[in-house]
Structure formats: structure tokens, C-alpha cells
Structure 1
Amino acid sequence: MNKIKLFCPATVANICCGFDVLGLCLSTIGDEMIIHKSSKKGIRITKITGADLPFETEKNVAGVAALALLKDLDIDFGFDIEIHKKIKAGSGIGSSAASAAGAVFGINELLGQPYSRKELVEFAMKGEALASGSEHADNVAPALLGGFTLVRGYNPLDVIRIESPAELYVTVVHPQIELKTSEMRAVLKPEITLKSAITQWGNLGGLIAGLYTEDYELIKRSLHDEIVEPLRSPFIPNFDLVKNSALKNNALGCGISGSGPSIFTLNKGIKIANNIAVIMKDIYSKTNIPFEIHISKIDSQGIRIIN
């Protein structure tokens, strides 16, 4: 192949109790990327639609991730990348991760798959570092691997993929205000109490166990963030109202998607997912804040080739 077209899915990271280690892949919203082989060495961003992003390779997350991949290889040609953004930057549903992961996945395919999807995570993280100031895998891992992913550790990188229970759906509302990832990381405290840590460890372990056993009640009991949500939620208009309304209407849990401002719920079944979407719409329709709502199953495949 000399050309490849990709669907690069949006993702939800943290999932309440899994800050920086847990993420999931969405199926209904994602970017498109087209990558061409070129006789000219290096990486070039040749087209961007849907967002005002830099064309300079070293300033674009897709370019940085692609350069990290090429640095590990000995080839005498290069690649041109088109990025068609459908995930809004700063939305909290993995816009930068979709670009970074898509770039390394597409180039890997055009090279005959010298790396596994799991090995590509490390290169995609370089793009995330440009966007947020730190190399983290909780968005790029589910984008590449699909399903839920748990980042057990970073030195060395150890990512575990987890299948999603069959009836699990995600509802996301994106109130279109700007919250920069770097600024939202700055509000976090460098230290936490032992009591909070123990609560969080229990919830994370319970959520993982609930996913493996398809125990929706255990998933529900575990979707609680003791540490990050109390510090970030005041920056998101109507967060408490959305959360309380969702939980009263049978959502399994509700939390901040990534660093926000998007809010997500996990739900058992499409009917509840749709009901929560109506509630979110009703709440934000009463404000002057534009918003988007997405309903999705967990995408088990991750980034995929499209025609």
C-alpha cells in the first residue's frame, strides 16, 4: 500500500477512579486521517480540516508521534499526513490522542506492521506529551487497542486490554468551553491522604473486577473519584446537576472525561444511555453554552482502516 485512510476514535480517560491509568474507546465519534508514502524523507502535515492546528511537523501531535516512530526505523522515504478533525480540540475525549495514535498506526500499516498495536502506544505518547506536557497513555492506549485499557506502569510501559461488558454504553456531553489539559493538571495536588488513596485503590480494583465479571452493580459501586473530580469539577458548568440527575435516572456512574470539560456516564443498555442524553440536553439547553452529545458502545477494535 502507498496510501491508507483511517478512522481514529475518540476516547474517555480516567473513568472516575482510574486517573492516568484507565481509558475506553468510543465507536461513534472519531477523526479521519489519510497517510501517503512519499519518496521524500521525513514527515509532512499536508492538509488539516475541522480545526486550526499547526502544519509544522514538530508542533503537531501527529507529526511528533510519527517522527518518534521514524527515529526508531531505517528507511529512505517518508510520509505525508492529512488530518480531518471531527473531535474538537480541548473536548476531553482524546482529540490529540486520536491524531497521535492515528499517525503511528497508519505508518506502521504502510510499513507492513513492524510493530504491534501495543508497541505503538509508546510512540503515540510522544505526541501526547506535546499536547499536555506529560507522556501518558490513558487515551492513546484505548484508541490503538480498543475496549478498556489499564496502564499498569510506565517503566517499562505495561498496558492491559480489558473487554467491555456487552450491555455497557457511554453517554458524553461536551459543553464547548475551553479547559486546557495542562491547566487542569496544574489544579491537582501533588500529595493525597492515605485514606483517599485506599478508597481510590478499592474503587479501581472493584471497577476492573466488575468489567471482567460483567457485574454491573459492582461497576456502579466503583465509579467514584475520591481525588481528582473534587478539584476539577468546579471548572465545568452544571457538572453537579448533570451528575446528580444522571445517577437519579439509573446511570451506573458519572464523571469527568479526561481533563474535561466533557462529562460522561456509563450505562447498562441503550435505553438508559438515550435517557441520559435527553437529560444532558435539557440541562445545557437552558444555558448559553453550545454543546454536543454522543452516545456510544465501547469500541472493541480501536483505530481501523476505512475506504
Structure 2
Amino acid sequence: MNSIRVFAPATVANVACGFDIFGFAVDSPGDEIVLRKRDKPGVEIIDIIGDEGRLPREAMRNTAGIAIQTFLQHIGSEQGIEVTLHKQMPLGSGLGSSAASAVAGVFAINELMGRPLKTMDLLPFAMEGERLACGSAHADNVAPSLLGGFVVIRSYNPLDVIRVNTPDGMHCTIVHPDIEVNTKDARFILKNEVSMKNTITQMGNVAGMIAGLMKPDYDLISRSMVDVIIEPVRSILIPEFNEVKQAALDSGALGCSISGSGPSMFALSRDAETAQRVGLAMQAGFLAVGITSELYVSEINQQGPKILSPVTATA
């Protein structure tokens, strides 16, 4: 195999109460990458489509490029690679855009090189892409994008990642308002210390969320989707946040919060019909103040990356 085309899904990180430890994958949007072997050593990004020229073309400054390069160094290969990246989600959206590119890249190169590593072992290379993008090698976006499903990052040292079962039929609604929140800025405004009261409340909600997903118990999930630490601070960066969240709850959502660092907002619902209704209500909330948005509705993506149809000459 001399070329490959791979899709990696967007993700919702934090999931309300689980800052930096919860994340799940969705069916749409996501990024696609095309890799081709070449005789000349090194990783070269040939083109990036859909980024409006905003992303670096130098491989070691690009999340997909650095993930591919560090993987090749790890397996001791000097194989040359040409990369074409198709960005299919907004940058700075809170949907794990940088993570999807890194995951697509490292998953694709592993397949192209004959799958020398297991999928779980690819995670550190994808995390290097996150370190490049936002200064911190966190895994709450790359892990669910790579592994699929709902993921818990129990520990970073050593890295300990667990997939958690989710109720059949539960759907996610994502609304991305046409504004941008920089991930580094969203982290900068967070407080370094948290009160004992809020810590206890948050720990209870984290435990309740996992129990609710595994039982499954929708009422418990709903009661647990409360963030008393991060959401109150970051929500000030999203216009009409409280009104949009209330619109989602009034329309039947189990809960609603910020996706990653924002500005996207997500909601969980019992079924597809409710999730669609919730999304329209959320969009109406943003539109009331003149903010347009994109709407995505899907189940929890259990697959993670996938190999697409064979690469064509024009891909």
C-alpha cells in the first residue's frame, strides 16, 4: 500500500463536570488526511484544504505532521511521506480540531507502515500534536478521537485511559456559533485554586456521570451534568451562554455545557428526535442576538478513525 485516506472524528471534551478527564467522539464533523509514500525521506505537507491558509505547512509545526514524524522516528523508519490534510471543521471551535488532525495522521501512518503498533500505543504521538497546538499534551480530545466512544483519562503519569459504555440511542447535539475562542486564552482565565466545597460537588458529579452512563440511568446522567468549577468562568466568553443552555434544557436535553474550551456548546439527549429539537432551540438562542451557527447531531461515535475509499489521483 503506497497511499491511504483516513477520517478522524471531532470530539467533545470535559463533558461538563469532567475537566481534562472526560471526552467522547461524534460522527460529524471530523478531519480527513491523505498520506502517500515517496522516495525522498522526511514528512512534507503538500496541501491543507479548508483552513483558509491559517495552519502551518511545515511538518514539525503542524499537529498532523509532528504526530507522523514522531511515529516514524519511534519505529526507526526514514520513509518519506507526502501529506494532504482536509480540514472539515472550524478552527478554534472546541471540537478537537487539532486532535482530529493528529489522530488522522498517526492512525494513517500506522496503517500505511503495516500496523507496527496497536491503536492504544498511538496515543502518545497524537498527544504531541496537542502539545504543539495548545502547549499541553492533554488527551481528552485525542483519546476519544483515536479510540472512539466515551473515554476517561484516569491518570497522565502514568497514562491511564479507560473506555466507558454509553446508553444505546443516546444522542449528542453540538452547536458551533460563528465566533472563535482561543484554547490558550480559555485556559489562561481559569483559576489555579478551587474551594473544598466545589471540589466535593464536582467529584460527586464525576462519579454520578460515570455511574449514570454505565447503569444506564438517564436521570442520574442529567443530575450529574453540572460543572461548578470551569463552566462559570469560561461561559463568559460565549455570548448568550445561559440563554442557549436554558433553551436546550427546556427542549428536553439531559444536560448542556461547553464543548472543550468553546465556543461550541453540546447537549446530551435520550434520542435523535429530542437531540434535533434541542439543536434548533440552541441555534435560535444564538440567532436572537445575531449569531449564526452550525448544527451537528449524532450518536456517540464508537469507532474512532476509519479508512476511507481508495485514494484517487485527484484526492
Q: TM-score range by the shorter chain?
A: over 0.9
| 1:258 match: secondary structure | coil
CA contact 2:283–2:292 (8 Å) conserved in 1: no
Distance 2:277 2:290 in 1: 22
Report the Cα offset of residue 211 of structure 1: 1.1
Are 2:31 and 1:24 equivalent residues in the alignment?
no
CA contact 2:245–2:282 (8 Å) conserved in 1: no
Q: Which residue of 2 aligns with 1:35?
A: 35
Query: Percent identity at matched positions?
Result: 48
Give aligned pairs, total.
307
Report the Cα offset of residue 289 of structure 1: 2.2
Are 2:183 and 1:190 equivalent residues in the alignment?
no
Distance 1:183 1:157 in 2: 26
Q: Which residue of 2 aligns with 1:127?
A: 129
Q: Which residue of 2 aligns with 1:50?
A: 50
Are 2:19 and 1:11 equivalent residues in the alignment?
no
Are 2:244 and 1:242 equivalent residues in the alignment?
yes
Report the Cα offset of residue 57 of structure 1: 1.0
Distance 2:197 2:69 in 1: 43
Distance 1:32 1:133 in 2: 24
Gaps of 5+ in 2: 310-315
Moved more, 227-236 or 247-256: 247-256
Report the Cα offset of residue 37 of structure 1: 1.6
Report the Cα offset of residue 167 of structure 1: 1.8
Q: Which residue of 1 aligns with 2:308?
A: 306
Report the Cα offset of residue 7 of structure 1: 1.2
| 2:245 match: secondary structure | helix
| 1:87 match: secondary structure | coil
Report the Cα offset of residue 288 of structure 1: 2.7
CA contact 1:163–1:300 (8 Å) conserved in 2: no
Q: Which residue of 1 aligns with 2:108?
A: 106
Q: Which ranges of 4 or more aligned residues in structure 1 deviate by more than 4 Å?
A: none
Are 2:270 and 1:268 equivalent residues in the alignment?
yes
Distance 2:215 2:116 in 1: 34
CA contact 1:164–1:300 (8 Å) conserved in 2: no
Distance 2:132 2:117 in 1: 22
Gaps of 5+ in 1: none
Report the TM-score, using the length of structure 1 for normalisation. Answer: 0.98
Q: Which residue of 2 aligns with 1:229?
A: 231
| 1:100 match: secondary structure | helix
Are 2:286 and 1:284 equivalent residues in the alignment?
yes
| 1:226 match: secondary structure | coil
Distance 1:76 1:50 in 2: 29
